Structure 1
Amino acid sequence: MVKTKHLENQSVIANIDWLSIFLYTALVFFGWMNIYSASLPLEETSIFDLSQIYGKQILFIGITLPVIVIILSLDAKTYEKYSLIFYIIGILLLMGLFIFGKTIKGQTNWYQFGGISMQPSEFAKIGTALFLSKYITESQTTFQTLKEQVIAMGIIFLPVAFIMLQPDAGSAMIFMVFFLVLYREGFPAWYLWTGFFAILLFILALVIKPVILLVLILLGCIIHFIYNKSIHRNPFIYAILAVVMSGFVFSVDYVFENVLEPHQKDRINVLIGEDVDMKKEGYNLNQSMIAIGSGGWTGKGYLEGTQTKGGFVPEQHTDYIFTTVGEEWGFVGSLSVVVCFLSLILRVTYLAEKQKNNFNRIYGYCVAAILFMHFFVNISMLIGIFPTIGVPLPFFSYGGSSLIAFTLLLFIFLKLDANKVNEW
């Protein structure tokens, strides 16, 4: 009895994962250093100058400190108990954009209050992660029924629908990573494979003539039918699959020309190597690769990047912040940042596996998945293997909404993890 009482009264702070906090702090600090370099004016001013981007980022970092204290002070059960409330708040904030939001470059995805801006899609990810974890835990679903699958997908696609109406395809795409978490919890794998092949077919249809691709699809279906060892294989199902895939291929051209926005088509053309003007459509990617490549093995030195100082890379302090790392810190510095991110993601995944509570475990997977998706997409678009879609690098890119939202996302899980010593 004494031992039980002692365990129940253990301090949550004493059991917090300090390795995760160290990695978080390192990324935030190194991120600010690169924001400072990317936004430093000709005449140096105080690092606390709020008229400068680096000064504002220090303010945002300062705001995260009381946010962290509040997160760690609240009862761990609060996040599970009120997960639906957090989710609803996120949805209402997204809906409110269509009345109170500010339109910037054709997108209505920001609230503007004087000099303060807030992007609700960053916070909607947290509410979705919490509520999705709550639903899976409370219903004890194994996703064997269509009803369970539809409810889980509905939780994900509701915020996605409002984000696409802004329109903000980049933020909406991040939500798709929740399907990896669903798959980990028993969601049918064919959903993931369908999505993967749909994306693959879309890309192939842009670079291969439809007739040739149709022949390849038919050959693929025939070969799979012949070598499929299942005694329940049905030629009718294969025929339907071939027709659906063929119809999808022939619809790609219409979607590309009539549905996608001009800037979206330009970004895809840059990715697939179509003939585009690299001084216009491909300018961002071209300058990004020049900056990263010019860094060599050890970089040009901190504050010595010529591409950075010349302002050749647009939005370098936000979505393209990693180009500063590549130019000034070189391959060694870039690799160090990549290792830090992967270490944090793997650490969160490891801690999630150790959870006694299903809600904590599933939410931990959500955190790791979101961080990985942002990291992977951001780095990929800078080196030309993914279209430029405006996805920030967690803890690194400039922005209060991004930094505070990712801090909330991570430290809620660290609070849940620290509290596991009091769970039975």
Structure 2
Amino acid sequence: MRDSDIHINRVDWVVVTIYFALVIFGWFNIYAAVYDSQAPQSMFDMSINSGKQLVRIGAAVILIVLIMVADYRFFENLSLYIFIAFMLLLLITPIFGKVVNGQRAWFEIGPIQIQPGEFAKFATALALAKVMERPTFDLTKRNHQLIAFGVLLLPVAFILLQPDTGTAMVYFAMLLMFYREGFPQKYYLLGFGFIALTLLSLGIENNLYLAIGIGVIILFLILLGKKSWQKVVAFSLIGLGLIAYSYSIDYVVSKLPEHQQNRIMVLFNPNLDPLGVGWNVTQSKIAIGSGGLFGKGYLEGTQTKFDFVPEQHTDFIFCTLGEEFGWAGSLVVISLFVTLLVRLVIMAERQKNRFSRVYGYCVISILLFHFMINIAMTVGLFPVVGIPLPFFSYGGSSLWSFTILLFVFIKLDSSRALQLGRFK
């Protein structure tokens, strides 16, 4: 029996079916986002986004075929070379790339625009899987931690030079894979603590309030009696540290570009300048809320028709879904994503070697991050950072990079019987 026969028989068709369901549903919503009832055009018209996206879907199918007919060892053996190639590409992007929306993050090849930062996610996942494939690799050891973080942070540093904060953030999602592979839990608790403190610092308009609150608690400890002086000293030092950290966060935010500062401000004050910096999020929530239980009907979305929500075919595609298909349609799409992620966890846990498992959890981490942040962004629970909805949003780089990311894992999973006994 040929290897290709074994692979086809072991392909997880549930994941493949969900992938195509999301891509097709996304294509219909992209058409709805650009539909003009006064001058309707065919979905297949190459002059509008739905027609262009259909070509990209066709290219994605070709990528799928190439991945599935390739030898599964190709991705493992060339993983570090692929990573190095993309790091070089990221390094030259800020120099030779095309500026789009204030970011030099794209290369233009004829009619095609390619965003290397999107494809580098796949390369980074492969590289992490390669350096961590041996059972002797231990994330509790300092030198092994440095190696893993070096691989993870290198593309982040290059992408921040573009600068593309949203794409850079995605790479930190792979810390979920680190947790599965044994990275100490205490660091996650420390990280969550800093995140909570950062949100608190950003949410409190005047750091004087934070200082007063800490002072009141210190006074309360003093009143407890002389035996509490150690607690008073300890808490005073912690309090001073918190205040210093809060002021440092304010300083860092003040150095961000104005549009990024505005997005953070809108997160904590949704009513801030609803006709200006808060316009996107305000109109997004109106669009989703107006859909009600079952939506206004396909191609009947008024927010969509009159372009109230900018970038509705890309980062805010969920608005079109919510307005035209309502709560029920949104629930169907969210259920598809959740089912996909659960299925990928099952696939990751049944792998026969660590390379495939690590890569699988990288795929899960990236898809989960995009799914959660994109929806949170459209309903005002997260700043607008330009995170597309996987397989759903308009764009070639996004669709192709997610397709490669997912189907390489499907290929590895379909070949797991051939990998039995390796890396014992």
TM-score normalised according to structure 1 size = 0.91
Give how far 1:190 is off: 2.9
Secondary structure at 1:137's aligned position in 2?
coil
Amino acid at match of 1:286: T
Whether the 8 Å CA contact 1:64–1:404 is kept in 2: the answer is yes
- The question of 1:59 aligning with 2:55 is answered yes
Alignment partners' CA distance in 2, 1:116 and 1:190 = 45
Amino acid at match of 1:391: I
Give how far 1:215 is off: 6.3
Greater than 6 Å deviation, 4+ residue runs? 6-9, 217-223, 234-240
Give runs of aligned pairs for residues 84-163 of structure 1, distance below 5 A.
Answer: 84-138=80-134, 140-163=136-159
**CA shift digits 1:345-382 (9 cap, x unpaired):** 11111110111111111111111111000000000011
Give runs of aligned pairs for residues 347-362 of structure 1, distance below 5 A.
Answer: 347-362=343-358
Whether the 8 Å CA contact 1:10–1:422 is kept in 2: the answer is no
2:384 corresponds to? 388
- The worse-fitting range, judged by mean Cα deviation, of 87-96 and 135-144 is 135-144
Alignment partners' CA distance in 2, 1:346 and 1:216 = 43
Q: For residues 21 and 211 of structure 1, do their structure 2 counterparts lie closer, same or farther at Cα, with a shift above 3 Å needed?
A: same
1:22 corresponds to? 17
Alignment partners' CA distance in 2, 1:347 and 1:220 = 48
**CA shift digits 1:83-137 (9 cap, x unpaired):** 1011112212211212220112221111112321011111000010111011111
Alignment partners' CA distance in 1, 2:177 and 2:100 = 33
- The question of 1:13 aligning with 2:8 is answered yes
2:410 corresponds to? 414
Whether the 8 Å CA contact 2:356–2:412 is kept in 1: the answer is yes
2:400 corresponds to? 404
Give runs of aligned pairs for residues 298-313 of structure 1, distance below 5 A.
Answer: 298-313=294-309
Q: For residues 220 and 120 of structure 1, do their structure 2 counterparts lie closer, same or farther at Cα, with a shift above 3 Å needed?
A: farther
Alignment partners' CA distance in 2, 1:48 and 1:289 = 30
1:253 corresponds to? 250
**CA shift digits 1:12-42 (9 cap, x unpaired):** 0111000000100100000000001101244
Q: For residues 423 and 139 of structure 1, do their structure 2 counterparts lie closer, same or farther at Cα, with a shift above 3 Å needed?
A: closer
2:366 corresponds to? 370
Whether the 8 Å CA contact 1:10–1:421 is kept in 2: the answer is no
Q: For residues 89 and 239 of structure 1, do their structure 2 counterparts lie closer, same or farther at Cα, with a shift above 3 Å needed?
A: farther
Q: For residues 214 and 61 of structure 1, do their structure 2 counterparts lie closer, same or farther at Cα, with a shift above 3 Å needed?
A: same
Amino acid at match of 1:36: Y
**CA shift digits 1:64-90 (9 cap, x unpaired):** 111101101111111111110111122
**CA shift digits 1:304-344 (9 cap, x unpaired):** 11111111110000000010010000000000000001110
Give how far 1:8 is off: 7.3
2:228 corresponds to? none
- The question of 1:268 aligning with 2:264 is answered yes
Whether the 8 Å CA contact 1:206–1:252 is kept in 2: the answer is yes
1:40 corresponds to? 35
Whether the 8 Å CA contact 1:31–1:395 is kept in 2: the answer is yes
Give how far 1:151 is off: 1.3
Alignment partners' CA distance in 2, 1:355 and 1:252 = 42
- The worse-fitting range, judged by mean Cα deviation, of 29-38 and 197-206 is 197-206
Alignment partners' CA distance in 1, 2:53 and 2:390 = 13
Alignment partners' CA distance in 2, 1:241 and 1:356 = 47
- The worse-fitting range, judged by mean Cα deviation, of 169-178 and 141-150 is 141-150
Q: For residues 63 and 404 of structure 1, do their structure 2 counterparts lie closer, same or farther at Cα, with a shift above 3 Å needed?
A: same
Amino acid at match of 1:205: S
Alignment partners' CA distance in 2, 1:115 and 1:271 = 36
- The worse-fitting range, judged by mean Cα deviation, of 236-245 and 151-160 is 236-245
Whether the 8 Å CA contact 2:271–2:278 is kept in 1: the answer is no
Alignment partners' CA distance in 1, 2:234 and 2:62 = 58
Whether the 8 Å CA contact 1:9–1:422 is kept in 2: the answer is no
Name stretches of at least 5 consecutive residues in structure 1 with no aligned partner: 1-5, 224-233
Name stretches of at least 5 consecutive residues in structure 2 with no aligned partner: 221-230
- The worse-fitting range, judged by mean Cα deviation, of 310-319 and 7-16 is 7-16
Give how far 1:189 is off: 2.1
Q: Which of 155, 178, 202 pairs up with 2:174?
A: 178
Whether the 8 Å CA contact 1:7–1:421 is kept in 2: the answer is no
Alignment partners' CA distance in 2, 1:74 and 1:222 = 69
Secondary structure at 1:355's aligned position in 2?
coil
RMSD: 2.5
Q: Which of 319, 322, 329 pairs up with 1:326?
A: 322
